[in-house]
Amino acid sequence: MRKPSHPNLSRVIPIGVSIAAIDQLTAWWARQSVPLGHETWLVRPVLGMELLFNRGATLGIGSQWPFFVTIVGVLGTIILFWLALTLKSLQIPLAVMAGGALGNVVSRIHSGRVTDFIRISGWPGIFNLADVAIRLGGLWLIIHVLITSRNKKTSSP
């Protein structure tokens, strides 16, 4: 059996593509099932859904420049996948972030906007699963770096 030319590809690409695919499927479901602009609480008053289309980045930032937001998203996705393939110890959280970024980029290229539909009480804005992946991957990355740097400090003489 032939060994893959880049062993990290067997983890990074499936994780990233799976997250992007799940984001696309849930966004499609939301467009079919959630009324536009109507708030529906799943777990009152904590978790709800409200359909919103966003041409900008997080919280609608840059919505007046959707082409620029798309270009930045494409570049960010490429950089995240490259880092995930390069930095073995951080490959999983970076792949999760890359998958979220890819999901948003696919939406922007396909329709010029992302479909946001998740509302959490007390959290600013409405978001989608791609945004969740980006934030959870980022949090995972920060925790990993903090724990690793702390362990290096305690183990050095």
**Mean pLDDT of each 10-residue bin along the chain, 157 residues long:** 62 96 97 91 92 90 92 97 94 97 97 95 92 97 90 69
Q: What's the pLDDT at 58? A: 85
Domain layout of the chain by residue ranges: 9-155
**Distances in whole angstroms, Cα of residue 78 to Cα of each of 23, 115, 136:** 18, 22, 19
Q: Which helix (H) or strand (E) holds 40?
A: strand 40-43
- The catalytic residue positions are 116, 131
